[in-house]
Structure 1
Amino acid sequence: MDILDDSKNTSICMQCNQRIINYSNQLCRKQFLSPSRINEYSKIRGVQINQENKIESGNLIIDEFIKETQLNSKCCDDFIEWVSCSNLENIKYLTFGGNSKIYSGTWKLNQLSTNIALKVTKNSNNINDNILNELKIHHKCRSQNIIPFYGITKSPEGDEYAMIIKHAEHGDLRNYIRKFFPKLTWTDRIKILIELSKALNSLHQMNLLHMDFHCKNILVDEADRIFLSDFGLCQPIDSEMVSSSIQGVLPYIAPEVLRNKPYTKQSEVYSISMIMWELTSNKPPFSNKHHDVELALSILDGLRPNTVEGTPDFYTNIMKQCWDSDPLKRPDASLLPKIFEEMIELCKMADDKTVSSKVAFYSLPPQIESERETKSFGFDNMLPAYHSESEEKLFMSNENSFVDIDIEPGI
Structure 2
Amino acid sequence: MKVILKIVFLFFCGSIIAQTNLSLRVNAGGPQLTHNGDVFLADQYSVSGSGWTTTNGQSLDALYVTERWGDQTLSYEIPVDNGTYDVILHFAELWYHGGEIGSRVFDVSMENQLVLDNYDINADIGPLTAVEKAFVVSVTDGFLSIYFSSLPADGGANNPKVSAIEVLGTNNTDTQSPTTPTLSSATNTDTTVDLSWSGATDNIAVTGYKIYKDGALEATLGNVSTYQVTGLTASTAYNFTATALDAAGNESVTSNIVSVTTDSSGGSSGGSTVWSESSGNISYSAGNVGIGTSTIPSAYKLAVNGKIITEELKVQLQSAWPDYVFAKNYDLPSLEEIQKHIDEKGHLPNMPSAKEVEENGIEVGEMNRLLLEKIEELTIYIIAMKKEIIELKNKR
Q: TM-score, normalised by structure 1?
A: 0.25
Write 1 or 2 for the structure with the bigger share of helix.
1
Write 1 or 2 for the structure with the bigger share of strand.
2
Question: Which one has the largest radius of gyration?
Answer: 2
